[in-house]
Structure 1
Amino acid sequence: MRKLMLALAAGAAVCAPLAAQDTNAVEQRTEHQQMMRALYADIIAFRTARGHQRMDEMVAYLVRRLSEAGFAAEDLMVTDYDSEGEPTQGLVVRYPGNGASGKKPIVMLAHMDVVDALPKDWDRAPFTLTEEDGYFYARGTQDNKYGVANLTGTFMRLKQEGWVPNRDLYLVFSGDEETGMISTRAQAKWVAENVDPAYVLNSDAGGIGLADDFSPLAQQVQLAEKTYVTFDLTVTNSGGHSSRPRSDNAIYELAAALTKIADHRFPVRESELTRSYFAALGRSVPGALGDAMTRFAEDPSDAEAIEIIRADPGFVGTLGTTCVATMLEAGHAENALPQSASAAVNCRVWPGEGVDSVKATLAEVIGNPDVAITQRAEATESGMSSFPDEVRVALAKSLAARFGREIPMIPNMSSGGTDGMHYRTLGYDTIAIGAGASRPEDIYSHGLNERMRVDAFYDGLDHWSIILKELAGS
C-alpha cells in the first residue's frame, strides 16, 4: 500500500439528481429503502471509469456519508495509488467491535470503479440511474456499485441502530479492479499485515440465480476463480503503398490468427467443485440445459452434454480455459499498407493449467512465427477456498428471511476475475456471496444497458445486515 492516511471529506460531493420515479411507490418504501436508493443513484453518477478521474469525488462522498452516520475519523482510511499512470483511491472502513467473541475480524470487499460506458451507445444515460419497466438501468447497477451501496448502507444502518459487533468488521473498497488491480494488491497486503481476518466475504460475485418467472433457483457461492490474463498478438512488416498490395499484409495475417483462435476449443476440464456445481444446478435449471448439467456431473465425457453447456455463454467458462479477442488496432493511413496490426486476446485460465501453457497453445494453434505473442501483465493464479460453517449458516438465514424458504447454496468457480483472487493467494478463504439476483438474460455487466431488477435491489437490502448480525452478534 503506497500511502495510508486518515481522512474526512470536507463538503458534499456534487451528484446527479435522483432518477424519475413513481411518487406513490416512493411513499410506500421504508426510510432505509429510500435512503439506499438515493445512495445508489449518487454513487452511480460518479463516472469512476479509467480516464475520467472521478474516484476521489466518490470516495469523498462515501466518507462524508459514513462520518455523518457516526463513524469516527480514525476508522475511515483513504488510500492513494498510482494505477498504471493514473491516480485512483481506495477506502477502508473499520466497524470496531467489543472483542467479546475473541474471534478474528471479517473483511468485506467491493470495487468502486466501473468499465466505461459511452453515452452515444446506450439507450439511456449510463451514469444516471433510470427506473423503467421494473429495472434500474445504469453502468454499475450490478458490477459493482450495488455491492458498494449495499455494504455502505448496511454499515450506516447498523451504526445508527447502536449495534456493536463482537469482533471488528472491515469494508475494503478498491479503486481499479476493472483495470490494473494496483489498489487491490496493495489493500490485500495491508489487510494481511494489519487485520489478519478470519476470512473475506466478497460482494462482487456469487449472487442469486432466478428462473424465467423470477423465482429463486439458488445462491451461487464463489469459492474459486479462473486466472485472468491478456495476450497481445502483433504482426509487423515494412508496409508500403496501398496501390501495391503484398502477400504479407499485417491485417490479413492477424485476422487469420484470430480466426484460428476462434475455432480452437481448449480441453474440457472438471473438478469436484464444478461437478457438484452442475449436479446441484441441474436440479433447478429447466429443460435441455439442466439435463445436460446433470449428465455432465455424472459423466464429464458426455459429448452431447458438453456441447449444450458450451453453447450457453453463462456456463461455457465452467468447462475449461477460454480465450477471446477483445480489442483491435491496425494501420496508420487509409492509402498505406499496414506496418503493424495487433489484437488483445483475453484468456480465463482453468486453475492449474498455467498461463505459460495457454500461451504455448495459442502459438501452436496460430502456427505462424511472425505473429508475436506477449503477455500484458503478471497473472495471479489462486486456489480454492473453503466454505466456513458459520458463513454457511448465516447465508442460509439471510436467504430464508428473503424468500420465506430454504434456497440451495451452490459453491462454484467463477469465470470472471475479482479482487478475491489476491486474498486467496495470501492464504485467506474468500467467499463471494453477493446479494444481487438476476436471470441469465438480465446480466449485462460490462455491456450495454446494464440493469438490475428493482425488486431484487430492495429485497437484497437486508442481506448483509442479517449475515453480519449472525456472524458478529451477541
Structure 2
Amino acid sequence: MKGIGAAIGLALLAGAAPLAADGHERSAHEQRSYEIYRDIIAFRTARGHGQVDDMVAYLAGRLSKAGFAAGDIMVTDYDSEGDPTQGLIVRYRGDGSSDEKPIALLAHMDVVDALPEDWERDPFTLTEADGYFYARGTQDNKYGVMNLTSTFIRLKEEGWTPNRDLYLVFSGDEETGMISTRAQAKWIAENVDPAYVLNSDAGGIGLADDFSPLAQQVQMAEKTYVTFDLTATNQGGHSSRPRSDNAIYDLAAALLKVAEYRFPVRDTQLTRTYLGALGQSMPGELGDALKRFAADPSDASAIEIIRADPSLVGTLGTTCVATMLKGGHAQNALPQSASAAVNCRVFPGDGVDNVKAQLAAAIGNPEIAIVQRAEATESGVSEFPDEVRDALSKALVARFGKPIPMLPHMSSGGTDGMHYRTLGYDTVAIGAGASRPRDIYAHGLNERMRVDAFYAGLDHWTIILKELAGS
C-alpha cells in the first residue's frame, strides 16, 4: 500500500487542470477536482488487482491534508469473497446547532475491470479527446467519489461547519460481493442512524441530443441483483465417440430458451409516472410508446417498442441474461460439465425464488441445475424527502439557470443503496453526472464523460449540503 505521505506527494506533483474552453484558468476547486479524478482513475480498483487500498490511502491523505482529523477518517478492511478490499468512512463534524440527524453520502471506489488491449485508449489513464474524458470509472463511480471528496475539502477550506454531522461512506466492492457495503450499512445504522442516505452512484441528468438538459433522474428504488449458475453435467468420454447427449449442447439449448423467454410485464406508480414524464420530452415513436404505456400498461405495441430499447427494457419487468460461460476440460474429450452465469435484475415484488422457478419452467429440462450464486438483497421504494427535493432543485437552477424536471425512478441496475433501504432508511440517488443515452458506456468499452458536464457538476453537492446542513 502506498503511504498517506506518498499519496499526498502524488497530488502535489500533479499538473494543473486543462484550461477552460474560453482560455481562462480553472478555479482552485476545478483544478483540485480534476487532479483527484485523474489520480483515482489511475488506480485499477477492479477485483483481483489489490489497488482499492492504494486509492483509500490517497483519498485519506487528501482529506487529512485538508484538515479532517485522524479520528474522523476510518479505514476498514474486508475479505470480499477471498479478495481483500477496504472501505472508507469520513465524518464531517457538525456544530450541534441542529436537532436533525446526520446525512450519509454514498459512492463506491471499485470498478468493473477493463482490458487495456480491448480499449482504444489506456482505460486507467484519464484521456481528454473530442470533448470527453475517457477512462474506466469516469461515470461509474469515480466521478461520484471525486465530487463528494472534493466538496468536503472545499467546504473545510472555506471554514464551513455544518449544523449536523455528514458522513462520506465509500465502499470497496460494490461491483462484486458488496461485503464492504453490507458491513458499512450495518455500522452506519448502529452508530450514526442517519435521517436519510444520499447516493452519488445513480440518478444523474439526462441530456438531449444537443446536450440541453431534459430531467434529473432521482433513484428511489432498484431491482434486485441475483446471479444463477446453470449447469449441465455428463459422464463425458472420448471425443472420437460422440454421444447423443452433450453437456455443452444441453447448456446451449437451455440458454437459447432463456434468451427467448420474456418475463411478465410489471408496472408500479413509480415506473408509470417516470415513463410517462420521459415520454413527454422524448420525440418520435419511442416517446409515443412511453406515453401510451403510462396510460395503459397492457398496450402490446408500446411494450414491444420499449423492450427494444436497452436503456428502458429493464423498467418493464424482470430481466435475465447470460453473462459468463465455462465448459469442457480437454480438446479431445467430451465435456463432463458446462455452466453459464445468468444475471437477473428482479422487479420489486417478483421475488427471487419465483424468478428461479420461471427460468426452470422456460428451460424445460430438469437435468439443468439452477443454483443461486449468492444471497440476494430485495429492497423497497424510498420516499423523496421534501428538504432533499428543495435542495436538489436549487442546485439544478444554479447549474442550468432554470428549473428542470426531477423524475423519481427505479434503477434497473443495483447500487450500495439497496442495503440501506433494507435497513429502513430512505435512500435517494441524485448523482451530478449528465449525459446523453448514447454516451453511457459504464461497464463497457471506452467509458466516457463530457468534459463540460464534468465541470458543470462540481457545485452540485456544495449547494445541496449547504442547503441541508447550513445555518
> What SS class does the counterpart of residue 12 from structure 1 fall into?
helix
1:333 aligned to 2:315? Answer: no
2:193 to 189, 193, 196: 196
Deviation at 1:27, TM superposition (A): 4.8
In structure 2, the residue matched to 1:3 is none
1:12 to 1, 4, 7: 7
Opposite residue 300 of structure 1, the aligned amino acid is P
In structure 2, the residue matched to 1:267 is 264
> What SS class does the counterpart of residue 6 from structure 2 fall into?
coil
> Aligned pair in 2 of structure 1 residues 13, 115: CA closer, same or farther (>3 Å)?
farther
Any conservation in 1 of the 2:15–2:35 contact (CA below 8 Å)?
A: no
1:448 to 440, 445, 448: 445
In structure 2, the residue matched to 1:4 is none
Deviation per CA, 1:379-423: give whole Å up to 9, x if none: 000000000000000000000000001100000000000000000
> What SS class does the counterpart of residue 374 from structure 1 fall into?
strand
Aligned residue pairs: how many?
467
Mapping 1:220-259, distance limit 5 Å: 220-259=217-256
1:92 aligned to 2:89? Answer: yes
Deviation at 1:237, TM superposition (A): 0.8
Any conservation in 2 of the 1:223–1:430 contact (CA below 8 Å)?
A: yes
1:167 aligned to 2:164? Answer: yes
What is the rounded CA distance, in whole Å, between the counterparts of 1:13 and 1:238 in structure 2? 58
> Aligned pair in 2 of structure 1 residues 29, 267: CA closer, same or farther (>3 Å)?
same
Any conservation in 2 of the 1:19–1:41 contact (CA below 8 Å)?
A: no
Any conservation in 1 of the 2:382–2:427 contact (CA below 8 Å)?
A: yes
What is the rounded CA distance, in whole Å, between the counterparts of 2:120 and 2:386 in structure 1? 44
1:139 aligned to 2:136? Answer: yes
Deviation at 1:23, TM superposition (A): 5.5
In structure 1, the residue matched to 2:147 is 150
1:45 to 12, 22, 42: 42
2:120 to 123, 136, 157: 123
In structure 2, the residue matched to 1:405 is 402
1:371 to 363, 368, 377: 368
In structure 2, the residue matched to 1:281 is 278
Listed as ranges, the gaps of 5+ residues in structure 1 are 1-7
In structure 1, the residue matched to 2:391 is 394
Deviation at 1:13, TM superposition (A): 6.5
Any conservation in 2 of the 1:21–1:131 contact (CA below 8 Å)?
A: no
1:58 aligned to 2:55? Answer: yes
Any conservation in 2 of the 1:229–1:355 contact (CA below 8 Å)?
A: yes
Deviation at 1:336, TM superposition (A): 1.2
1:360 aligned to 2:384? Answer: no
Deviation at 1:10, TM superposition (A): 4.0
Opposite residue 104 of structure 2, the aligned amino acid is V
> Cα RMSD (Å) of the superposition?
1.5
1:30 aligned to 2:11? Answer: no
The percent identity for this pair of structures is 78
Any conservation in 2 of the 1:99–1:167 contact (CA below 8 Å)?
A: yes
Opposite residue 440 of structure 1, the aligned amino acid is P
What is the rounded CA distance, in whole Å, between the counterparts of 2:55 and 2:415 in structure 1? 20
> Aligned pair in 2 of structure 1 residues 170, 159: CA closer, same or farther (>3 Å)?
same
Deviation at 1:20, TM superposition (A): 11
Deviation at 1:28, TM superposition (A): 2.8
Any conservation in 2 of the 1:78–1:90 contact (CA below 8 Å)?
A: yes
What is the rounded CA distance, in whole Å, between the counterparts of 1:426 and 1:206 in structure 2? 21
In structure 1, the residue matched to 2:469 is 472
What is the rounded CA distance, in whole Å, between the counterparts of 1:20 and 1:313 in structure 2? 39
Deviation per CA, 1:312-369: give whole Å up to 9, x if none: 0000000000000000001111111111100000000011110000000111100111
What is the rounded CA distance, in whole Å, between the counterparts of 1:331 and 1:51 in structure 2? 25
The answer to which of 126-135 and 8-17 deviates more is 8-17
What is the rounded CA distance, in whole Å, between the counterparts of 2:468 and 2:281 in structure 1? 29
What is the rounded CA distance, in whole Å, between the counterparts of 1:11 and 1:258 in structure 2? 50
Q: Return the TM-score normalized by structure 2.
A: 0.97
